[in-house]
Amino acid sequence: MKQSLAGLSLAELTELLKPLPVFRARQLFRHLCCGTRSFAEMTDFSLSLRESMERRFSLYSSEVAQRFVDRDGSVKLQIDLSDGARIEAVLLSDENGRKTACLSTQAGCPMGCVFCKTGSLGFNRNLTSAEMTEQFLHLQAAAGSRINNVVVMGMGEPLLNMTELRKTLLFLTGQDFGSRQFSKRKVTVSTCGIVAGIRELAENGPDVRIALSLTTADEDLRGRLMKASAANPLSALRNALLSYQQRRKRRITLEAVLLGGVNTRQKDVDALTVFVQGLDVAVNLIPWNPVVGALFEGAPLRQPSRAETDGFAERLRKQKVNVTVRLKRGRGIAGACGQLGRLSDTRV
Ligand code: SAH
Ligand code: SF4
């Protein structure tokens, strides 16, 4: 199989192209970052060089298999990897036209949170950094204009794929990426709460933002909804967040997917109020997006009513918790949080 180039760092490209001079690697790198889709388009290389590169290399290791566009402007790409695994990447557009790329880090996910479609698929494998970066490049080609933010919130648990995740983050936020370089403030990694991974990011960076999928601060309920919780108890998580904040000085987002009648009790308000004390956090409430067949202890999960969501937010606000209810972007293409998974459930 030909070596694919997109997603490689400038240093890796330089090594591959030897004995060609470094400026050639830089030229090629620029093409890859701009989304050039074929060697033929690289007219700043001689024809013979283009042909020899074409013989040795391919541009991408992955391929966009399907593209879904939502009425709200969001785009979901289903992407086939070289071994046949299929993943998804989403471009979310907000009302101000700002674009956010949402990237996957694993094919499937081993964590099995009961409310999440990806969790129901089981775990296939970790993605390579090139496969993650390629998602970004495919989305950039689909976006047609600049992407403003990156969230690592697609399929899989990013902090269980730390080495490849770090390479991807360094690529996107590195100087090599040229005028497209992302500020580290514009990149957010979402985790179900892997204590060792949060500590690792706090100590060794890169200095990106983090979002913790808390779901609830009631330990018992959290344990029943998210199996990651058993090895990562709330007290240890809170300490990891504190050290991240001492070290990185960044506000942390806490995400809580709201499950109707399950984690919207007064007990959840009280526990969350205690959990956030001493932390600089913003809480995002995400009304659950339906996942066909999702059960919690034998009973089907349901979306919270509008009144239930607003009431929950209001009770938290009364406790001086900084809360936002998140808009459901991308729902029409099953590209919203926790809906990434399988084509059969997708309605376009
Ligand atoms: N594994 C990481 C990142 C991917 S999940 C994590 O868990 O943080 C991204 C977010 O989607 C998480 O906050 C998760 O709680 C949320 N989510 C999962 N399923 C959902 C659903 N069906 N509706 C709304 N949000 C969901
Ligand atoms: Fe995995 Fe995140 Fe889904 Fe949980 S919510 S199963 S950690 S992708």
Note whether 196 and 219 are same-domain residues.
Answer: yes
Active site residues: 88, 337
Note whether 154 and 269 are same-domain residues.
Answer: yes
Relative to the alpha carbon of 338, which ligand is closest? Answer: 1
Atom number in ligand 1 closest to CA 152: 3
Span 51-65, pLDDT tens digits:
999 999 999 999 999
Relative to the alpha carbon of 104, which ligand is closest? Answer: 1
On whether residue 347 sits in a domain, the answer given is no
Q: Please count the structural domains in the chain.
A: 2
Note whether 21 and 141 are same-domain residues.
Answer: no
Using CA atoms, how far residue 175 sits from 9, 30, 63, 319, in Å, is: 11, 12, 27, 43
Q: 106: domain CATH number?
A: 3.20.20.70
* Nearest alpha carbon, ligand 1 atom 20: 338
Mean pLDDT for all residues in the chain: 92
For residue 283 and ligand 1, the question of a CB distance below 6 A is answered with: no
Question: From the CA of 205, how far away is ligand 1's center (Å)?
Answer: 23
Note whether 198 and 296 are same-domain residues.
Answer: yes
For residue 60 and ligand 1, the question of a CB distance below 6 A is answered with: no
For residue 192 and ligand 1, the question of a CB distance below 6 A is answered with: yes
3-state helix, strand, coil in the chain (%, to 5): 40, 20, 40
Span 190-213, pLDDT tens digits:
999 999 999 999 999 899 999 999
Note whether 299 and 282 are same-domain residues.
Answer: yes
Domain ranges, residue 14: 3-58
On whether residue 342 sits in a domain, the answer given is no
Distance CA 107, CA 118 (A): 9
On whether residue 345 sits in a domain, the answer given is no
* Nearest alpha carbon, ligand 1 atom 17: 338
Question: From the CA of 118, how far away is ligand 1's center (Å)?
Answer: 9
Span 9-45, pLDDT tens digits:
899 999 999 999 999 999 999 998 888 889 999 999 9
Note whether 169 and 253 are same-domain residues.
Answer: yes
Note whether 232 and 137 are same-domain residues.
Answer: yes
On whether residue 338 sits in a domain, the answer given is no
Residue 12 C-alpha from the chain's centroid: 24
